[in-house]
Amino acid sequence: MAPKDEKGKKYLACSCGYNTKKAETQSSVIKEVLKERKGDTVAIVNETDAALPITEERCPKCKHNRAYWWTKQTRASDEPETRFLKCEKCKTTWRERN
């Protein structure tokens, strides 16, 4: 589930369509509490491809032989995950077809 913000109201939403704004319980309310303390520093980390594993896959666009890969549950939970690949050279992204 991922946090969403709609018209100033925060809730959690799943890729299956379920979200906590439909739930009738108070336990699904998202609250943000920020505490500022002196001397603390916050590291801002950008998502980079360097954190992803690399495999030997041929890019359909530039024919480079290495690509980053990750999986994501895009269908029902009883179906296998979808594997995505991103070319190391030209950054083209595609799905693995089975």
**Three-class secondary structure assignment of 31-92:** CCCCCCCCCCCCCCCCCCHHHCCEEECCCCCCCCCEEEEEEECCCCCCCCCEEEEEECCCCC
- Catalytic residue set: 78-79
